[in-house]
Amino acid sequence: MNVVRGDVVLVKFLFSDGSGRSKLRPALVVQTDDMNNRITDTIIAAISTKSHRTSEYQVAIDVATPEGLLSGLRFTSMVQCENLLTIDTVLFQAVIGHLPESIMLQINGALKDVFALD
C-alpha cells in the first residue's frame, strides 16, 4: 500500500507482552515521503484514545475540529510520538484519513522532543 507522511492508517498492533495477540488500531505515518517511496517499511506513531497517559510527547487530535475531521478518527485521540514502530506497509488495512500541515507541525515538535533534537 502506498502511503505518505501524515496518513492515518489502520494496522494490527501486536501486544507488547509477547503473547502474540494483536488489535486493529490507528497509527500515523511519520516517515518521510522520500523513504516511503524507496522502501516498503515505514515508521508509524501509535494513536490512542487513552488520555490519562498524556505527555509532552503526544499531540491531541480533536475530531470536533475541521482539522480533526480530516484524520478519519472516530474519537478524539492522542498521537503518541514516543510510541514508534517500523512496519511493512503490506500490513496496513486501510488509509482512513490524513492530518493537515498545522497538526503535522505539532507532530514534528513532539518528535524533536522525543529524540532531543534541536
Asked if the model's pLDDT at residue 106 lies above 90, the reply is yes
Number of domains in the chain: 1
Q: Evaluate whether residue 2 is within a structural domain.
A: no
Q: How confident is the model at residue 68 (pLDDT cuts 50, 70, 90)?
A: very high
pLDDT for 14-39, tens place per residue?
777 878 888 899 999 999 999 999 99
Cα distance between residue 80 and residue 96, in whole Å: 18
Q: Where are the alpha helices (DSSP H) in the chain?
A: 33-38, 66-69, 101-114
pLDDT for res 19: 85
Residue 118's pLDDT band (cuts 50, 70, 90): confident
* CB distance 79 to 59 below 8 Å: yes
What are residue 92's DSSP bridge partners?
Answer: 11
CATH code of 30's domain: 2.30.30.110
Which residue has better confidence, 23 or 65? Answer: 65
Structural domain for 19, as ranges:
7-114
What three-state secondary structure class fits 58? strand
